[in-house]
A and B are shown apart, each in its own frame.
Chain A
Amino acid sequence: MDTAPRPRPAVRFDNVTKRFGDTVALDGVSVTANTGEVLVLLGLSGSGKSTLLRHVDGLQMPTSGGVEVLGVDVPGARGRELRALRRRIGFVFQQFHLVGSLTVLENVCTGALGRMRGPRLGLPTYPRAVREEALAQLDRVGLADRAFQRADTLSGGQQQRVAIARAMLQHPEVLLADEPVASLDPESAHQVMELIREVAAEENLTVLCSLHQVDLALSWGDRIVGLRTGRVVMDSPVSELGRDEAMAVYARVGSAAPLTTA
């Protein structure tokens, strides 16, 4: 609405196919996300949303096709190069993936590992500058006062906010979120989505976020990509989608499977 989409794509999938044995998880997917765009992936469980996200930072590699992220050819990247790319991409998971027995602050600090050499054991082994920045990121998500609690003493919504702080400590250019609110109550879900939208706007992040709920997708996304059995079945800006239309599209995604098998 406010800024015109920039021409440079941050993430580009070109005819990507991924097979696990006989299963086809992604089937000729071509998707582009421009810099600063919030792209929502909609689809049922098993439609390929998570697999697509994991291809962006090379946690999985395509069977065929091209993935280019931030100017890097992902399937061609290995080792150090891949690590360097991952550092520029934040990832937020459905199950938060914090280490419950560590303090909140140390969990956030692990976001800085990608730009540090060697392993770290315990909070004091992180440089003071990293700890200070981690505290600032924690305050950004409103939880600096919880810095020295164990992570597993926080509620689900709070843990997800800590996970976002961890991702922000990477100084990412792209933020991936895999069902970030699927395990949360509606109020916490709202808070977390607002937070993602907020930090994305402040840092001009490109966001790829998978969701189950059409309502959330319509309120938080710039563009919606619908997936079904590994194929892109819808790709359109939210502004061009009416609410009913989007619901219908999502419903079609859901109900189409029996039609094709019949």
Chain B
Amino acid sequence: MMTEPAATSPAATEPPAPSGGPHAPAARPRTLPLPGPSGVAALLTVLTLVGVGVWSVIDLRINVATLLSSADNASDFLSRTLPLDFPTPAELAGPLGVTLAVVIAATLLSVVLSIPLAVWAAGNTTPGRPARTVARALIVIARAVPDVVLAILFFRLFGFGAVTGVLAMGLHSVGMVGKLYGDAVEQIDEGPRQALRAAGASRLQELTGGVLPQVLPAFVATAMHRLDINLRISVILGFVGVAGIGQDLAHALGRLDYQRGMALALIVLLLCVSIELLSVAVRRALLPDTEQRPTGVTGLVARLRPGTGARTGGRPAPVDPRTASAEALASGRVSPPWTPERVRRTFYVLVTTAVLVGSVAYSALDFNGFIDSNRGPLGVLAMFWPPESGGIGDRLLQGLVVTVQIAFAATLLGMLPALPVGVLAARNVAPSRRVGQVCRMFIVFVRSVPELILAIVFVVMIGLGPVAGTLALAIGVVGLLGKLVADSVEEVDPGPERALRATGASRIQVFFGATLPQALPAFVGHSMYQLDVNIRAATILGIVGAGGIGYELLNAARVLEFGVVTLITLMVFGVVMVVELVAVWLRGVVGGRAA
């Protein structure tokens, strides 16, 4: 009783905390920074880009009504495509073999060309500044000229054979493979190379002994990635005339045989998935050392036999090291023992070699010599110059606008699901392991579906035009941008996240307070990269009737207006360049690393 007023009085004298604060000065200090001019410009740019995206969505009439009517078409689509008409294995074997041979030989060609280019282009191995400039220019040009345009060019020289496909895809691939190989060479540890030089090794010996072993895992991984991409591209090349399963698909769609067409599309899809799985298996088999501990059956065997499984560094302790060394010397063994591991590895290397040799041999057999022999290679090149509008300049401009609209609309629409899915797929943000795994698997699944196949399905379902292309690319965004976003969220410095969690912040507060601010520059960079990818892809998708300038490209090639082909290539390249410049500037302002 006596204590009660004493206990309540301190609480009563406490200041009403949340409302005023103890010292509220007359002139309030600035608690928000003044926006800088470049910040405002960046914000305006982002808003403009989003605005262009919104305008594109509206102008292309991608809305609920369109989607509803296409849902109507879906049942119609099913009645037109079912039952699927699969080719017999015998019918399939030929085109499938051609496609695989061309794709593998093209990837091999790009690797063979990229290795010397990468050595020249990398700052640490280049023989000199002029060589470096030349190599880098060649890599940029290879990326700038689309494979379809290269194919159109090589048809005039080599005809509709496998050689055209190999050269078109192989040369264009150098743009990516050469770039990534050069990056890998620049990232090596210089030490071993220096040691070899100090031991009197020649320049070539330095490269093979000190550089190549370090970059080999990256080289193989890049080659397998490119193989996957080239398989998808080979279908497009089928539409412009390269033999293989893509051409069969194009022919089936051309004669409105959707039952056969969709069956072939499904086969291509399965092929893409199996190449993806194969790529994982090959990487494991060729480079077991990049993986951690062996697991499964081989891991069990290695653990049961600690003597032979010495690769993991397990120390067979009690033996005197000098004695062990002397015994090893006495054994006279100067080649590694044939462990099951090494047998398996050698087997895979031999199989890979056989596949490579077979693919090259097949493609070479298909070479019938120069077609336009009276003109010669230079004469054929001259047909592509100067660029001209062919009297349809306004149609080309219209097509270009539609292509850019498709790219913008697809990027914007795709980002809506891609950003949340990508963020939730990141291990450090996912509310539970299960959610993270589901999101990641969803991304992987979407990635394995070629955009071209989606475009074909949508063209059949919705009809020719930009809506089909936009939807196909938008789904593709979930696969690519979703993965890039997930990776960049996982790469943020975990320190600030821990600090916020330590203050008692909730999961969502941690995400918005620590994770997102760190990952935001990467988001901007990746989105701009996605836009760049989509402009190039939208051009190509036009070839299968998904709207835009690609259709004009195909027509120009058909009627042999090669000057128009060149003009279209330059127009698209110009737009890509503009987007690239904006992207570089924007990344600089937002302070992100290069995507």
Contact = CB atoms under 8 A, between A and B. Distances in A.
Interface of A: 57, 59, 83-91, 93, 95-99, 101-103, 105, 110-111, 113-116, 118-121, 123-124, 128, 131-132, 134-136, 138-139, 142-150, 153-154, 163, 166-167, 170, 176
A114 B325 contact: no
Given A99-B192, A123-B336, A148-B336, A91 B199 contact: yes
Contacts of A119: 202, 204-205, 207-209
Given A99-B213, A113-B205, A132 B332 contact: yes
A120 B196 CA distance: 12
Contact of B202 (A57, A83, A142, A166): A83
Nearest to A163: B195
Nearest to B327: A145
Given A59-B197, A114-B200, A136-B329, 19 more contacts: A86-B197, A87-B199, A90-B199, A91-B199, A93-B191, A97-B191, A99-B214, A110-B210, A113-B209, A119-B202, A138-B325, A139-B328, A142-B325, A144-B325, A145-B327, A147-B333, A148-B337, A149-B311, A153-B313
Interface of B: 189, 191-192, 194-202, 204-205, 207-210, 212-214, 216-217, 289, 310-313, 321-322, 324-329, 332-337
A139 B289 contact: no
A119 B337 CA distance: 24
A203 to B, nearest CB: 16
B334 A128 contact: yes
A113 B207 contact: no
Contacts of A105: 334
A220 B348 CA distance: 50
B169 to A, nearest CB: 27
A153 B311 contact: yes
A71 to B, nearest CB: 16
A120 B202 CA distance: 11
A102 B200 contact: no
Given A135-B329, A143-B325, A166 B195 contact: yes
B289 A120 contact: no
Given A59-B198, A149-B311, A120 B327 contact: no
Contact of A118 (B198, B205, B212, B213): B205
- In order of increasing CB-CB distance, the 7 nearest A-B pairs are A114-B200, A97-B191, A87-B200, A131-B334, A119-B208, A91-B198, A86-B200
A101 B215 CA distance: 10
Contact of A97 (B194, B324, B332, B334): B194
B128 to A, nearest CB: 16
Contacts of A132: 332, 334
Given A84-B200, A114-B200, A142-B322, A150 B335 contact: no
A58 B198 CA distance: 9
A127 B332 CA distance: 14
Contacts of A147: 328, 333-334
Nearest to A89: B198
Max chain B Cβ within 10 angstroms of own Cβ: one of A98, A101, A103, A111: A101
Contacts of B199: 86-87, 90-91, 110-111, 113-114, 166-167, 170
Given A123-B335, A132-B334, A142 B321 contact: yes
A149 B191 contact: no
A113 B194 contact: no
Contacts of B201: 83, 110, 113-114
Contacts of A85: 200
Contacts of B336: 103, 123, 148
Given A113-B209, A145-B328, A95 B191 contact: yes
Contacts of B217: 101
A248 to B, nearest CB: 34
B195 A145 contact: no
Contacts of A154: 313
A165 B124 CA distance: 27
Contacts of A116: 205
Contacts of A101: 213-214, 216-217, 289
Contacts of B191: 93, 95-97
A87 B199 CA distance: 5
A139 B198 contact: no
Nearest to A139: B329
A89 B199 CA distance: 7
A251 B24 CA distance: 60
B201 to A, nearest CB: 4
Nearest to A112: B199
B325 to A, nearest CB: 4
A149 B312 CA distance: 8
Contacts of A128: 334
A135 B214 contact: no
Contact of B310 (A57, A138, A144, A149): A149
A206 to B, nearest CB: 16
A180 to B, nearest CB: 13
A121 B329 contact: no
B204 A135 contact: no
Contact of A150 (B210, B216, B311, B322): B311
B192 A97 contact: yes
Max chain B Cβ within 10 angstroms of own Cβ: one of A95, A145, A176: A145
A86 B205 contact: no
B209 A120 contact: yes
Nearest to B193: A97
Contact of A110 (B196, B289, B332, B333): B196
Contacts of B337: 148
B26 to A, nearest CB: 53
A58 B303 CA distance: 48
A38 B77 CA distance: 86
A88 B200 CA distance: 8
A170 to B, nearest CB: 6
21 contacts: A83-B201, A86-B200, A90-B199, A91-B195, A93-B194, A97-B191, A98-B192, A99-B213, A103-B336, A105-B334, A113-B200, A114-B200, A121-B208, A134-B334, A135-B333, A135-B334, A142-B322, A144-B324, A144-B325, A144-B328, A148-B310
Contacts of B192: 97-99
Nearest to B320: A142
B317 to A, nearest CB: 13
Nearest to A151: B192
B191 to A, nearest CB: 3
Contact of B198 (A57, A98, A142, A149): A57
A118 to B, nearest CB: 7
